[in-house]
Amino acid sequence: MARTTTTEAAGARERAVAWRHATHAAVCDVIERWEYGTLVRCTRLPDFFVYNGLRVESPVPTLGVDTVVRAADMLLGDLDHRHVEVEDEAAGARLRPGFEALGWTSERLVWMSRRGPAPPGPDFEEVPVPATRGLRMQWSQSYPWTTSADAAGRFAKVEERAAALRGMRALLARDDSGAPAGFLLFAVAGDAAEIEQVYVRPALRGRGTGGDLVAAAVRAAGVAETFIVADDEGDPKRLYERLGFAPVWRQHAFRRRPG
């Protein structure tokens, strides 16, 4: 296997960052510079965290948590949440203890890339995104902020509005009885795509359905490069590595939730 050069790795990271910026541009109606990066806002979806926050794009080693928090309070002051994405891995690692000390949640996300077509495998039914609502509600009720069915339903509708803005597509897996068993959402733009959500009902896991959905989405997208994002400290990234995805960028996300 050919070794990835430093130049190739840098290029893959740049493409991942550019994809993230393009996603914000597709959804957010407010995109403004601030001293260390960019403010993004989607006024139509003010409660959708990832489309209403600050990007910290500068790796300045003197930038401190207090400065970022003050900027977030000033620029996001009318929102109930705060969301900050730090693009430089070293800067994110340095800022993480400070955010956690303030009670913010933190994630280290790994962006992974797969170039070229996926191997042959089972295909799945492509459906409108709202057709996956039941499964998405099941999944979201495991989140700490959507523990009730009503909250999950409200969040599902917000997700669908965001998905429409991005032109997202959905694949649906069914069990032997024909009932929905799992789903995947993905978006295509130009010569790249992103797989954003992959979920299989807990009782049906361990059968390879999740991996088959991912491979089917790569084939359905039919583009030169496909991205997928995983918790760098979790297990799913190992599945994606087995499917031919390789880490290209590590991004930190910090969030203060309502309440």
pLDDT confidence of residue 2: 45
Q: Of 162, 139, 137, whose CA–CA distance to 151 is shortest?
A: 137
Question: Phi then psi for 17, rounded to 5 degrees?
Answer: -60, -45
- Residue 128 domain boundaries: 117-223
Whether residue 105 is contained in a domain is answered as yes
pLDDT confidence of residue 146: 65
- How far is the C-alpha of 75 from the C-alpha of 70, rounded, in Å? 9
Does 104 share its domain with 130?
no
Whether residue 12 is contained in a domain is answered as yes
Whether residue 188 contacts residue 221, with contact meaning beta carbons closer than 8 Å, is answered with yes
Does 99 share its domain with 129?
no
3 state SS of 196:
strand
Does 98 share its domain with 131?
no
CB atoms within 10 A of CB 22: 14
Whether residue 210 contacts residue 181, with contact meaning beta carbons closer than 8 Å, is answered with no
- Neighbour-count burial of 134, counting CB atoms closer than 10 A to its CB (0-12 exposed, 13-18 middle, 19+ buried): middle
- pTM listed for this prediction: 0.92
Kindly report, residue by residue over 93-144, the tens digit of the pLDDT. Answer: 999 999 999 999 999 999 999 998 888 899 999 999 999 999 999 888 777 6
pLDDT confidence of residue 39: 98
pLDDT confidence of residue 235: 83
Does 87 share its domain with 133?
no
Does 26 share its domain with 78?
yes
Does 163 share its domain with 219?
yes
Question: What's the number of CA atoms in the CB half-sphere (13 Å) around residue 124?
Answer: 30
Whether residue 97 is contained in a domain is answered as yes
What length is written for the chain? 259
Question: Phi then psi for 141, rounded to 5 degrees?
Answer: -70, -5
Spans in the chain with pLDDT lower than 70: 1-5, 144-147, 259
Give one DSSP letter per residue of 20-64, joined into a string.
Answer: HHHHHHHH-SEEEEETTEEEEE-TTSTT-GGGSEEEE----TT--
Tokens of 163: 């998905």
Token pair 């693009």 is found at: 87
Number of folded domains that form the chain: 2
pLDDT confidence of residue 5: 66
